[in-house]
Amino acid sequence: MAFEILAEEGKARAGRLTTPHGVIETPSFVPVATWGAVTSLTMEEVRSLGSQVLIANAYHLHLQPGEDLIHRMGGLHRFMGWGGPIMTDSGGFQLFSLGAAKEHGVGKIAPIFPGDRGGHLKRGRGSSLVKLDEDGAEFTSFLDGTIHRVNAETVIELERKLGADIVFVLDECTSPLHDRAYTRAAMERTHRWALRAMAQHGKNPGRQAIFGIVQGGAFRDLRTESARFLAGLRFDGYALGGSLGKSKEEMHGVLEWTVPLLPAHRPRHLLGIGTVDDIWEGVDRGIDLFDCVAPTLMARRGTVFAKGEKGFKVRLMNARFREDHGPIEEGCTCPACRKYSRAYVRHLFAAGEGTAERLASLHNLHFMEEMMREIREAIRKGEFGAMKRRWVG
């Protein structure tokens, strides 16, 4: 893997990430293909929208259909029918979701910032399905209740069998409600796992790049310690994961403390974050790659992106769209907007027709890819700051 920075404006940078399965122009949004598919869309459709790279989930694919089967089928690229670059997440967040997230009542999208909910923070009522120890993690499958165990080494071997271009190490995610002592312990365990993962990867590196994951919650000294430690391990790239604080303002602080300490000649990935304003703020602070389920998850719930709307969101089930002849977004050239009205797509949602989800997903991913293209072009022209003010103020 090779990474080249082509232009910079402040901390924002436009680059080119070359992988065995193609080039990724950065900054880039990475659609989530958890089970080896972007929900409701074909690979041809995803490619036609301009998507350059996908991220699948090693945890889910381990449970079904299994990494050995995928390996026998020729690897994840052939199995999925996707010829471009693929990343695989290690499953650290999924272990968090089955464990601390259930206990603390935090989730994947907005609820990951519990302070944005208003009122007092409350712990959840769920029971953990994960047991963590120094070796790794034991968890109960949400599919059939079987018991599985993973550790730093087995995850690297799992991802090797899947054959992704970029793999992430196993880490321990922490919750915004974890205290400093636990967050430090989890960070140090993540560091020890990172060392083990690097050693395992070195035994059979192949053509896979490996990314380390910076932890430390919203504690400045822990984040800086983690960034410095991982920077010294010479990963091919770096990701920021775990708790990013109780609000988006705290997340911005985490990025400002951490990103400058990471090697400038390596790509930086912000895990699980990818709403419109988050991307502009992340790029402004030096992030190159973003992944998030938000575009397709929101589409399944009838919410689409549009410029000029509050939060860039339009809820199509709103009664005002019942007889709206206009497209989902004026001026959009996506397949949905070229042919269909808001009224029609709203009707499909009301009727429970699956085509509604497909059309909304096509629009949302197209919106994200067009926005990323504008960001890259603005950085190259030295106009990112002005463009950001027009988009998000």
Structure-block tokens of residue 304:
């689409």
Q: Is 324 a catalytic residue?
A: no
Q: Which of 89, 165, 171, 288 is catalytic?
A: 89
| 291 catalytically annotated | yes
Catalytic choice (236, 278, 284, 291): 291
List residues bridging with 151 in a β-sheet: 136
Catalytic machinery residues: 89, 291
